Chain A
Amino acid sequence: MTNREIILGRIREALKIAAPYPTFHDSATTTSPLPASPQSWLPPVGETLEEQIQLFRRNAEDLKAGFRECTNANEAGQYIKELALAGGWKKIGRHSGELTDPVARELGLPEVRTDGGYAVNDLESCDAGLTECEALVAQTGSVLVSAPSAGGRALSVLPPHHVVLARRSQMVPDLTVALQRVQEKFKDNFPSFLSFISGPSRTGDIERILVLGAHGPKKLTILLLP
């Protein structure tokens, strides 16, 4: 017998006796207690895109992330230039993409592109990582990235400042819709990596005091393009 068979056998043996169904708080019913989706329990989200963008802004700011709406790629490029100047950036990491290409051109800094692979130390010495994303989640202020949309796994976590470029159409109300979107998009061919990023890296391990920039980025900036 393989280990798989041994463990599955133990489980089947154990499950021969049924366990009582969990008791419910608000009702005595035990039939079909599950709502189709947990959306009715989770924090409310506005109806319109505009409300959702405002909610995203509030949540991102609570998470100590920067958020800015830009009218075009030019404006986004200008804003990132200001960030680069203020942060003294000498080199950026990025991947190729519809949104990242024009901004990087505008920026004109030396760059490490992760597209076809990269040397870890090169990426580690970058001052910022520029990526796109799969979705922005209004309910939590999170950015959903994947390996293809964010230049792999490390680009969005290794450099000390992570800058995300997103389109308005990528704003979704909540985690349920964000997960639905990637499921519809990738079907059975998921990337090996997906991550909900909610604010810059942080820790509270010393006296429960919040410190930003534990192991990942100290800063996160999200730019919303039309």
Chain B
Amino acid sequence: MNVHAKTFNEAARHQTADLRQRDWIQKALAGYYAKRDEFKNRFQSWSGARDTAAAVKWEAVNHLDRYLDEFASRLEARGTRVFWAPDAQAVRDYVVGVARQHQVRSIIKSKSMTAEEIHLNDTLEQAGFEVVESDLGEYIVQLRHEPPYHLVFPAMHLTRQQISDLFQDRLGSESTDNPEHLTMIARRVMRRKYCEADMGISGANFAIAETGMISITENEGNARLTTSLPKVHVAIVGIEKVLPKLSDLALFLPMLATAGAGQPITCYNTLYGGPRQPGEPDGPEEFHVVLLDNRRTELLADAEQRDALHCIRCGACLNVCPIFKNIGGHSYGTTYQGPIGSVITPHLRGLQDWKHLSQASSLCGACTETCPVKINLHHHLLHNRRNAIQARPARFEKLVQTGFVFMMRRPRLYEWAAGIGRILQPLQRLVQGTVLDPLRAWTKTRSFPPLAEKSFRELWRKRKKL
């Protein structure tokens, strides 16, 4: 078993035993379910909307070269600098380069899972820049030196008391159990940061090819401030974020809000098409859009799982996943948690290292059913299992299977083996689950059903005799 699988198993075992944490996650999600259903029901047809969204993303992803080229050309025509990053290192070098060139001192950042994916904050901090996460949940987990727990709700695992203690400890604020007071503490800290920061870093939810704009969805206003006040704005965008037309947003914005957060529409849905233009009173002098591949093209090359690139990172599949609800977000050890993370991480970070995530599934299909862009998530977990075993066959398992088939085709051999089994089973009972047990891997959490005293064949023969 590789180190990632071992870490995963230990974390999952630990989290599953933590009943308080599990209750907490269930409670946090209960409100989401109610609101999501309420706003889904306001659609004239949610299933029609899903079909259309899936078809639009199919069109975009299956003509990605054309749409990306159009997107980049239109942005460049309005004075935006577009950087094409084949891998994570290229982005890190580029962003550090831009920061150095502008002699930046402090950087304010709004939520970006793509930046998490490439560990951009670590790189910037090592290069001597101060980076502050401005999204409240992200700020909380940043203060705790933790990765986000959930790709939409980064701090959902924490209670107000824990957050109050954290703020007391790190910001010297008063103790309070009022979420509003806690929010205002962060607001005051962040206001100073916005005014001082020289550079703002954001992600993007959508990239509109037709007009050359990025679209950012948020509730807090932190992304708007991050992209308004500093003199440089850098947006990190995965190449799969493309939508062909501006009008596609009319469908995707309400769907993202409903599926992702149980809201009819998110508070701010903002389009950025360039740096400050002539005649505009504010906005950054420079706008950089970084288009990140980082092995997305390898996933693209897998036609069977290509629809995993339709993902709009709404997090709906996490919220309904029985595995996520029991093992929590940190156990995965990945940037993207839950079913979508289990599907794409093996593509982004190596199939053999991350194939264990495909096994951590009940294959119930709740993820596939809820996905607003209809990604075939639970089947892709099966595809990953198959691909992993094809790439690296399990020889011992194969041997056992071959032996089993050999035996089942030979009735006498089967009868003889069953007879031996009945003799050996009581002995196995004595050592069950201990190191002496040859079947330990299976029996330490399960017990074998007892073999019948007499086999069907024996009973049949006896009956014939009567």
Interface residues of chain A, those whose CB is within 8 Å of chain B, are 2-4, 6-8, 10-15, 17-26, 33-35, 37-44, 59, 62-63, 95, 114-118, 120-121, 124, 140-142, 147-148, 151-155, 157-158, 174-176, 178-180, 183, 190-209, 211, 213-217
Contact = CB atoms under 8 A, between A and B. Distances in A.
B288 to A, nearest CB: 14
B249 A209 contact: no
A190 B332 CA distance: 42
A41 B224 contact: no
Contact of A216 (B84, B85, B221, B247): B221
Nearest to B141: A205
B35 to A, nearest CB: 10
Interface residues of B, number: 106
B374 interface: yes
Contacts of A44: 44
Interface in B259-292: 261, 264-277, 279-283, 287, 291
Given A140-B264, A204-B219, A43 B300 contact: no
A192 B276 contact: yes
B48 interface: yes
B356 to A, nearest CB: 26
Given A7-B291, A208-B32, A215-B220, A42 B254 contact: yes
Nearest to B228: A153
A95 B279 CA distance: 13
B85 A22 contact: no
A26 B83 CA distance: 41
Contact of B47 (A25, A33, A35): A25
A20 B310 CA distance: 13
Interface string B87-110: 000100000000000000000000
Contacts of A183: 211, 246
A141 B55 CA distance: 27
A11 B275 contact: no
Contact of B272 (A38, A62, A193): A193
A202 B168 CA distance: 23
A192 B221 CA distance: 17
Contacts of A120: 195, 229
A27 to B, nearest CB: 9
A206 B44 CA distance: 32
B50 A25 contact: yes
A11 B179 contact: no
Contacts of A213: 183-184, 187
Contacts of A42: 43-44, 49, 250-251, 254
Given A179-B246, A214-B221, A203 B183 contact: yes
B23 to A, nearest CB: 13
A200 B156 CA distance: 22
B221 A201 contact: yes
A63 to B, nearest CB: 8
A9 to B, nearest CB: 9
Nearest to B63: A15
